[in-house]
């Protein structure tokens, strides 16, 4: 059977990968975003540029499909999500509410909502040696400002739509997804991509800037594992929020060391304590993930970072070579 699905946020990092993954499963895919993918062409059967803050556009996006993968969001790295609380909360709340209502009106069979580990209470994340976060620990609520609050509210909306309208919703809480084909500069990039870029741009023995003291901790999941987990959850019968991440906790300083070894460079660090660094520690508890899906992410941090670093390095080299060609053409001309 060929399922018809829409992937919103298909011009972004995870959405671009998800379209490719679902096409490999035999899906017919409509990709929707306010922009086309920045790195490479989409594999979607149909790609529509739509602003999903508008209700009518959400109705167009969800027309004549069976599954909705709602990944569209205004978001970015820690610098971005700590700077634009009102903008992020407004834009994403409009998108999520209109997408749910459009899915109900168009009688969609299943709706997957991409939430975030940012919904977890900040009072549980004051220590770098953090206790892994179980799904039920989201309450009593104290999520991150703006981004975390709107994610938690949208989770509740999914529950309400399931209870009152029988819309089959799925809720996935991402934990720090990284990989190729994502932003690596400009303010929206996440820590792994930012560090890969910084290390790729310096010479052996040089110094890079690290936000905070580098002892803050996180777990990181490679994008290939992410999209497989998304699809597995969508096909399951599990309707409550589910963590999707790895449970290997590393410091940002350790992340720098791993990337440095991949790059075969000796890198020194200069720590900037004035920059945003988020919660002190965050890790995924995967016990429910293993039970529900009989599966969990398997790509090691070293393997995933190797793919990511070499892709970012090649992107930077290609851009630099392009500039050199232009400069030579100007000189010759």
Give CA–CA dist 280/298, Å, rounded.
Answer: 25
Give CA–CA dist 244/252, Å, rounded.
Answer: 20
Beta-carbon contacts of residue 291 (< 8 Å; ≥ 6 apart) = none
Beta-carbon contacts of residue 212 (< 8 Å; ≥ 6 apart) = 252, 271, 272, 273, 275, 277
Closest CA to 23 of 69, 74, 71: 69
* Choice among 27, 69, 113, 147 that is catalytic: 147
Give CB contacts under 8 A, 24+ apart, made by 326-332.
Answer: none
- Residue whose tokens read 């299943």: 110
- For the purposes of burial, counting CB atoms within 10 Å of the CB of 137, is it exposed (0-12), middle (13-18) or buried (19 or more)? middle
Give CA–CA dist 245/176, Å, rounded.
Answer: 7
Q: Are 52 and 98 in contact (CB under 8 A)?
A: yes
Give CA–CA dist 236/78, Å, rounded.
Answer: 32
| Known catalytic residue at 178 | no
How far, in Å, are 128, 241, 274 from residue 125 at the CA level? 8, 19, 19
Classify residue 219 as left (phi > 0), alpha (psi -120 to 50) or beta: beta
Tokens (6 digits) for 56? 């009518």
Report, as residue numbers or ranges, the catalytic residues. Answer: 147
């Amino acid at each position: 059977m060929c399922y018809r699905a829409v992937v919103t946020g298909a011009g972004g990092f995870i959405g671009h990968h998800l379209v490719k993954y679902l096409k490999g499963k035999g899906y017919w895919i409509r990709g929707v975003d306010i922009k086309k993918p920045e790195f490479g062409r989409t594999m979607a059967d149909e790609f529509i540029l739509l602003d999903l803050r508008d209700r009518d556009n959400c109705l167009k996006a969800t027309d004549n499909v069976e599954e909705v993968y709602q990944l569209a969001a205004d978001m970015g790295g820690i610098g971005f999500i700590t700077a634009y609380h009102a903008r992020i909360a407004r834009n994403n709340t409009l998108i999520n509410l209109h997408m749910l209502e459009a899915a109900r009106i168009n009688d969609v069979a299943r709706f997957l909502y991409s939430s975030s580990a940012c919904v977890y209470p900040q009072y549980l994340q004051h220590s770098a040696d953090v206790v892994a976060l179980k799904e039920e620990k989201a309450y009593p609520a104290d999520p991150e400002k703006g981004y975390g609050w709107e994610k938690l509210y949208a989770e509740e909306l999914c529950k309400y739509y399931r209870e009152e309208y029988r819309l089959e919703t799925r809720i996935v809480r991402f934990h720090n997804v990284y990989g190729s084909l994502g932003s690596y500069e400009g303010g929206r990039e996440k820590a792994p991509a930012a560090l890969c870029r910084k290390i790729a741009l310096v010479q052996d023995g040089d110094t890079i800037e690290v936000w905070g003291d580098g002892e803050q901790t996180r777990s990181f999941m490679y994008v290939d594992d992410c999209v497989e987990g998304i699809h597995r959850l969508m096909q399951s019968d599990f309707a409550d929020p589910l963590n999707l991440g790895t449970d290997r906790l590393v410091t940002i300083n350790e992340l720098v060391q791993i990337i440095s070894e991949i790059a075969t460079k000796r890198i020194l660090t200069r720590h900037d304590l004035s920059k945003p660094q988020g919660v002190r520690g965050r890790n995924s508890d995967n016990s429910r993930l293993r039970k529900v899906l009989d599966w969990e992410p398997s790509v090691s941090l070293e393997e995933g970072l190797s793919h990511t670093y070499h892709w970012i390095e090649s992107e930077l080299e290609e851009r630099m070579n392009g500039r050199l060609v232009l400069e030579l053409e100007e000189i010759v001309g």
